[in-house]
Amino acid sequence: MKCNGSQILIEVLIEQGVDTVFGYPGGAVLNIYDALYLNSDRIRHVLTAHEQGASHAADGYARATGKTGVVIATSGPGATNLVTGIATAYMDSVPMVAITGNVGTSLIGKDSFQEVYIAGITMPITKHNFVVRHVEELADVLRDAFRIANTGRPGPVLVDIPKDVTAAVCEFQNKPRLEIDQSFDLRESDLKRIAEVINQAERPVIYFGGGVVCSGAADDLRRLMKKAEIPATWTMMAAGTLPPDDPLNLGMIGMHGKVSAGRAVDRSDVLLSIGARFSDRVATDTNRFAPDARIIHVDIDAAEINKNILTDDSLVSDAKTFLREILPYIHEARHAEWMTKITDWRQRLDYRPKDSETRLRPERVIKIISEVAGPEAIFATDVGQHQMWAAQYCGRIKPRQFLTSGGLGTMGYGYGAAIGAKFGCPDKPVVHITGDGSFHMNLNELCTTVTYEVPVVTVIMNNSVLGMVRQWQTIFYGQRYSHTTLDRKTNYVKLAEAFGAQGFRCTTPAEFKAALSAALSHKGPTIIDCVIDRDERVLPMIPPNGSIDDIIAD
């Protein structure tokens, strides 16, 4: 059949299983938006307040559902407004297809109105990008974009389409959706070699990250842990993979991870890393990280092997294939002495925050959210102290329940991500956990939740400072608080009401619990302003370039 470029775009999106896209219209994408209007019964478009919010919504949708997130923006400033969201997805390996309009092909390179070379701008932050100059290429380019976004290590792909290409007509034929096989052919000799090291270990630890979530390998991981009694620690990107009450769950590792988890890695004799990248927030001092361990690194991306930490053995594989194929070679084992030691560290070393009934402590706020919102709730955070408190105490029991910007550390990520998660998982409660600094970055998306009656609950940890930066200034900069005090007079209750939402202000646990219960039963969005002390700190903390021996615990 004959179709114009815009209709081809719609047909391929539907062919690829897309039912929801996020975006913002403009001149260069008018043809695309006309096609969206004509096909509104087949594909849903969510209009955000800003293109950055749309990019984060596509990201949150992808993380919560496991599908590919799709975002659409016009040329020039519309396209450049996607850059932070694309970079966020790239750093955290999130499958996303970003579709941008551009000026007509005859106007490219002439400094035309709203012209920008978005393919060049995004080259370092995408797996691949395309500029489509001929309508005959469009369908297969779009199919390639979805294939690339989901093959190997997931990530964003950008497709830039000049306006005349969206209007041009050519023959189009639907094709079956390509089923992507992520499995790797692993050699038996490699599996036996690695299994032998694990079987001989006396103090083994598994360290895993977002790669386990991406490949849907949580159950496979638990089977290995249980069979060989191997405790596991995880990065923030893997929060929720293990139930909090699992005795083999060491908790989060890293700069603000559990002391016992850091100590277990430090004293391990074999460290099996699966789908993690040894970032500077985990291997804070590479020379002192797991000094006595034989390190085995399994990752889908060969470029990650030996990038940050030199390993003793490695395997390029997705987490699911590796865990399934190595399991038969792993012996049933028990490490009673090792687990006794870890239990002792947990009891003696792990940080236990003080509680209060008369004022809001941040750790208590997170625990109340976890309790009241329930085990199926999805949490989306921004970046700062609240992010770390949420990761430490969120109590999620399944993967894809904790959405956060781990690699890029994007303030303003959380609200868009929460919106995307709610559209992708409408039957699950979604709570956006933020700080007053982060919330101001993209608070305009409140109009999106109001317009679509999206019942996202936003909990603001309001300490009137940029808490994490101020914490560093307190510890490392002699309490010289340079531009981290937020002397803003924002009334969040009135702000919520001005947008058409409801708002609450809380200063005690009882007030917060009541407000949260009311918010979760409300049909629209809610803002809850939680007033906390500006001197609250995220603990424990490993100083930059430090090790577990340098831990700050009080």
The yes-or-no answer on residue 388 being catalytic is no
* CB neighbour burial string for 419-450, b if at least 16 within 10 angstroms, e if fewer: bbbbbbbeebbbbbbbbbbbbbbbbebbbbbe
For residues 25 and 100, the answer to whether their CB atoms sit within 8 Å is: no
468 as an active site residue: the answer is yes
Catalytic residue of the set 127, 163, 258, 320:
163
CA angle 501, 432, 425 (to 5 degrees): 95
| Residue 69 burial class via C-beta count within 10 angstroms: exposed 0-12, middle 13-18, buried 19 and up | buried
Q: What is the DSSP letter of 322?
A: H
Is the Cα dihedral 507, 510, 513, 518 positive or negative?
Answer: negative
**Is 428 a known active-site residue?**
no
Which residue of the set 11, 51, 363, 445 is catalytic? 51
The order of strands in the sheet holding 430-435 is 402-403, 378-381, 430-435, 456-462, 526-531, 502-506
At a CB cut-off of 8 Å and minimum separation 6, what does 317 contact? 184, 186, 298, 299, 300
Rg (CA), the chain: 24
Helical axes 319-326 vs 188-200, angle rounded to 10°: 70
| Residues ≥6 apart with Cβ < 8 Å to 110 | none
- Residue 63 has φ and ψ, to the nearest 5°, of -65, -40
The first and second tokens of residue 138, run together, are 């469009």
Q: Which residues of 197-207 are buried (b: 16+ CB within 10 A; e: fewer)?
A: bbbebebbbbb
| Euclidean distance between CA atoms 307 and 48, whole angstroms | 38
The answer for residues whose C-beta is within 8 angstroms of residue 124's C-beta and 6 or more apart is none
Contacts of 551 (CB under 8 A, 6+ apart): 259, 262, 540, 541, 542
φ, ψ of residue 33 in degrees (nearest 5): -70, -30
Contact 356, 532 (CB under 8 A): no
Which among 388, 441, 468, 541 is annotated as catalytic?
Answer: 468
DSSP labels, 345-389: HHHHHS------SSS--HHHHHHHHHHHH-TT-EEEE-SSHHHHH
379 is catalytic: no
- Beta bridge partners of residue 315, listed in sequence order: 298
Using CA atoms, how far residue 130 sits from 41, 166, 180, in Å, is: 28, 15, 20
Q: Provide the strand spans (E) within 400-538.
A: 402-403, 430-435, 456-462, 502-506, 526-531
Closest alpha carbon to 459 in 501, 510, 512, 495: 512
Considering only the C-alpha atoms of the chain, give the largest distance between any 2 of them, rounded to a whole number of Å: 73
Quick one: 512 exposed, middle or buried, by C-beta within 10 A (0-12, 13-18, 19+)?
Answer: buried
51 is catalytic: yes
Catalytic positions, please?
Answer: 51, 113-114, 163, 468
